[in-house]
Amino acid sequence: MSEYIHKSHNVSVLLYPLVFPAKYRRAVFDIDVDKALKEVCLEIEKRYDVKFLEIGTDKDHVHFLVQSVPTYSVTKLVKMIRSLTAREIFQRCPEVKKQLWGGEFWSDGYFASTVGKHGDEVRSPTT
């Protein structure tokens, strides 16, 4: 569940659904890679102002729901998550590197959006 993040000069609740496909849309997300990815994301949370509210893997892509602070642009957030997770997955699951030649884990493209904290509330019609 998202919470307001209180900093010295601001209070925010910024939620980003992100989807990252694996390079070449390869089906690399098995149980071991899924576990490694989630472990790395927990480590990222400890070092940065980022919280992973949801992580869902399919065979060839990952869905994240990430909460962050205004100091991180979406681009900076995406670059940070992709670079840290790729490096660690290659180290923890070396068999993945054989499936993805060229040394890249993630595809160049990604999906990013924003979500409101109260986006699922029902509003009464105005007249």
User: Could you tell me if 90 and 40 are in contact, meaning their C-beta atoms sit under 8 angstroms apart?
Assistant: no
Question: Which superfamily is assigned to 12-112 in CATH?
Answer: Transposase IS200-like (3.30.70.1290)
Question: pLDDT digit string (tens) for 38-73?
Answer: 999 999 999 998 999 999 999 999 999 999 988 899
pTM reported for the whole predicted model: 0.85
**Ramachandran bin of 52, using left for φ above 0, alpha for ψ from -120 to 50, beta for the remaining angles:** beta
- What are the sequence ranges of the domains in the chain? 12-112
Question: pLDDT digit string (tens) for 88-123?
Answer: 999 999 999 888 877 899 999 999 999 876 655 444
Residue of 115, 122, 126, 110 lying closest to 18 (CA atoms): 110
